Chains A and B, each alone.
Chain A
Amino acid sequence: METVSFILFSFLGALVMVGSIGTVWSRNPVTSALFLVLNFFALGGIYLLLEAQFIAVVQVIVYAGAIMVLFLFTIMLLNLDDEQALKEKFDLQKGFGILLGGVLLVEVLYILGLKINLPQKSTTLTPVEIGEAKNIGRELITNFLFPFEIVSILLLLAVVGAIVLAKKNFSPNT
């Protein structure tokens, strides 16, 4: 069983890497988006290996199934074939990207290099039970109710913001 999960992990990990490199590397926006879908799909598989079935499926439904479809939809609608048209005028974004990437890299190296003991939460549940939808749901609306509601409000605000942006001039008849 160990070897099976090791082979699966190697395969899925390779897919995740191919997916992420392909997303950044490819010239064609559609190819890029599809590599990202591959990445999400393989990541879902890795969650499954960790016995987190609920998160695995939600990963596929939300990211691969809904968000990326909208991305693809937008790319096709705008017909972004020419990569040059997308080139940013200023390099602030690039600089910020490097900064964020650097911070993440330092964090990862810090954890790996110093071999920090990651926080271990003591629980009586087995990994399979933790992954079950019922237990995740119970935790979310008992112990983590406040963060859960905050995230809901954040999402609601994003929806309201999108409507405001889409409907610039409100008139009672439209």
Chain B
Amino acid sequence: MTDLLQLPLLLSLTLGERLALMGVVLFVLLTSVAYTVYAERKIAAAIQNRIGPNRVGFDLIPQLGFLKGLAGLGQPIADVLKLLFKEDVVPSASNGFYHLLAPMISLFAALTTIAVVPVAAGLVIADVDIGVLYILAITSLGVYGLTLAGWASNSKYSLLGGLRSSAQMISYEIAMGLSVVSVVVIADSLSMTKIVESQTANPLYWNCFRNFLGFICFVVASFAECNRAPFDLPEAEQELVGGYNTEYGSMKFALFFLAEYANMIVASTVIATLFLGGYQVPFWSDAPWWLQVGAFVTKTLFMMFVFIWVRWTIPRFKYNQLMDLGWRKLLPLALFNLLLIAMGVLIFEA
């Protein structure tokens, strides 16, 4: 056991171990969604000088009585229970099958991306050679969930929300893809593990410093891909009621909610992997695997905090500003960065 805790885990996993890892990763992801919502409400409250949720404890279970009202930590569980017991209302004018399919696609896309993200050296559900492309492929499928939700609801607000989300995702995918290319050029590989290895344990070699412009482009584009503020036009309350999820209630709404937060967490893990050195522990290249997992989780939590922080401090864009930023600022910037990186690689490698 001590050997297992100290060796850097570099051997490839068997199928059973991969499945076990998948179970663990999905469990952590799904439970952390609930507490990300809680964290978001608490951080938002702090930013707006409020208290935030502070009532729901674990009063119902006598053994946990000492947790009564503990900083509202029971709030996420109460919210989930409430959504579970609500009536599932399907609008009579909607297209029932697609109405049901849309949240499923959203959640599918959010949860399958995590498969290629390495949580420690060698500890990855599927270490495919084209990991980065796989991530781009799956995120580009996620847009069907929102678009279909908008169409199937047969409501003008939903349709506008769905159309906005698809236009936005197509536009920002290009800048995102180009900044990923710059990362691939530096790492000389499409595999996520090799990209992390190429960043070494020295924080100065992490891509957020070596490839600063690419980092900025990727982070902005992933905000847009996650439909998070300041890019949350698909669900702009003031104009579109709830956007694509206007006609959704109970568990189906919960699935969208789950997908949105799972997307945010997965985007944080991808940013951490591509730009913040992934599982690399600073200045310790062969750290034990549990420390690497710790480093990875810390970086992910930091990026999640940035996501929440930005949402509650920056106002929403107008639609023309969104398109202008995507096509006329971010895209040229990403192209310029790619040129710069390619030249840098040529000069330093020669």
* B2-22, CB < 8 A from A: none
One of A66-74, A97-105, A110-118, A150-158 at the interface: A66-74
Among A65, A69, A76, A132, which residue has its beta carbon within 8 angstroms of that of B129?
A: A132
Taking CB as reference atom, which chain B residue is nearest A77?
B163
Q: B26 contacts the other chain (Cβ, under 8 Å)?
A: no
Q: B234 contacts the other chain (Cβ, under 8 Å)?
A: no
Contacts between the two chains (Cβ within 8 Å), count: 66
**Inter-chain contact B133/A73, CB cutoff 8 Å:** no
Q: A49 contacts the other chain (Cβ, under 8 Å)?
A: no
One of A9-17, A56-64, A87-95, A164-172 at the interface: A56-64
Q: A43 contacts the other chain (Cβ, under 8 Å)?
A: no
**Inter-chain contact A133/B130, CB cutoff 8 Å:** yes
Docked pose: A100 CA to B12 CA in angstroms: 50
**Inter-chain contact A60/B141, CB cutoff 8 Å:** yes
**Inter-chain contact A37/B159, CB cutoff 8 Å:** no
One of B84-92, B144-152, B317-325 at the interface: B144-152
Min CB–CB distance B68 → chain A (angstroms) = 49
Docked pose: A50 CA to B129 CA in angstroms: 15
**Inter-chain contact B140/A53, CB cutoff 8 Å:** no
Docked pose: A37 CA to B148 CA in angstroms: 13
Min CB–CB distance B320 → chain A (angstroms) = 14
**Inter-chain contact B167/A73, CB cutoff 8 Å:** yes
Q: B162 contacts the other chain (Cβ, under 8 Å)?
A: yes
Taking CB as reference atom, which chain A residue is nearest B131?
A57
Among B133, B134, B150, B170, which residue has its beta carbon within 8 angstroms of that of A76?
A: B150
* B118-163, CB < 8 A from A: 128-130, 133-134, 136-137, 140-141, 143-144, 147-148, 150-151, 159, 162-163
Taking CB as reference atom, which chain A residue is nearest B136?
A61
Q: Which B residues are CB-close (under 8 A) to A76?
A: 147, 150-151, 159, 162-163
Min CB–CB distance A13 → chain B (angstroms) = 21
Among B133, B140, B151, which residue has its beta carbon within 8 angstroms of that of A66?
A: B140
Q: Which B residues are CB-close (under 8 A) to A133?
A: 129-130, 133, 190
**Inter-chain contact B137/A72, CB cutoff 8 Å:** no
Q: B98 contacts the other chain (Cβ, under 8 Å)?
A: yes
Docked pose: A76 CA to B166 CA in angstroms: 11
**Inter-chain contact A57/B162, CB cutoff 8 Å:** no
Docked pose: A77 CA to B144 CA in angstroms: 15
Q: B173 contacts the other chain (Cβ, under 8 Å)?
A: yes
Min CB–CB distance B136 → chain A (angstroms) = 6
Interface size class of A (residues with CB under 8 A): 20 to 34
Docked pose: A61 CA to B139 CA in angstroms: 9
Min CB–CB distance B139 → chain A (angstroms) = 8
Min CB–CB distance A102 → chain B (angstroms) = 34
Docked pose: A69 CA to B146 CA in angstroms: 11
Q: Which A residues are CB-close (under 8 A) to B169?
A: 69
Docked pose: A132 CA to B188 CA in angstroms: 13
Q: Which A residues are CB-close (under 8 A) to B148?
A: 30, 34, 72
**Inter-chain contact A57/B133, CB cutoff 8 Å:** yes
Among B128, B137, B150, B159, which residue has its beta carbon within 8 angstroms of that of A65?
A: B137
Among A58, A69, A77, which residue has its beta carbon within 8 angstroms of that of B133?
A: A58
* B160-202, CB < 8 A from A: 162-163, 166-167, 169-170, 173, 190
Among B129, B133, B144, B190, which residue has its beta carbon within 8 angstroms of that of A61?
A: B133
Q: Which B residues are CB-close (under 8 A) to A132?
A: 129
Min CB–CB distance B140 → chain A (angstroms) = 3
Docked pose: A72 CA to B170 CA in angstroms: 12
Kindly supply a per-residue 1/0 record for chain A positions 18-38, scoring 1 wherever the CB is within 8 Å of any chain B CB and 0 otherwise. Answer: 000000000000100010010
Kindly supply a per-residue 1/0 record for chain A positions 45-57, scoring 1 wherever the CB is within 8 Å of any chain B CB and 0 otherwise. Answer: 0000000011001
**Inter-chain contact A69/B151, CB cutoff 8 Å:** no
Docked pose: A57 CA to B191 CA in angstroms: 13
Taking CB as reference atom, which chain A residue is nearest B133?
A57
Known: A66-B173, A73-B163, A76-B159. A57 touches B141 (CB 8 A): no
Given contacts A57-B137, A69-B140, A132-B129, 9 further A-B contacts (CB under 8 A): A34-B148, A54-B130, A57-B136, A60-B137, A65-B136, A72-B144, A72-B148, A73-B163, A76-B150
Sorted nearest first, the 4 A-B pairs with minimum C-beta distance are: A65-B140, A60-B137, A57-B133, A61-B137
> Can you name 28 A-B pairs with beta carbons within 8 Å?
A30-B98, A30-B148, A34-B148, A53-B128, A53-B129, A54-B130, A54-B133, A57-B130, A57-B134, A60-B141, A61-B133, A61-B137, A64-B140, A65-B141, A69-B140, A69-B144, A69-B170, A72-B144, A72-B148, A72-B166, A73-B147, A73-B163, A73-B167, A76-B150, A132-B129, A133-B129, A133-B130, A133-B190
Residues of B within 8 A of A (CB): 98, 128-130, 133-134, 136-137, 140-141, 143-144, 147-148, 150-151, 159, 162-163, 166-167, 169-170, 173, 190
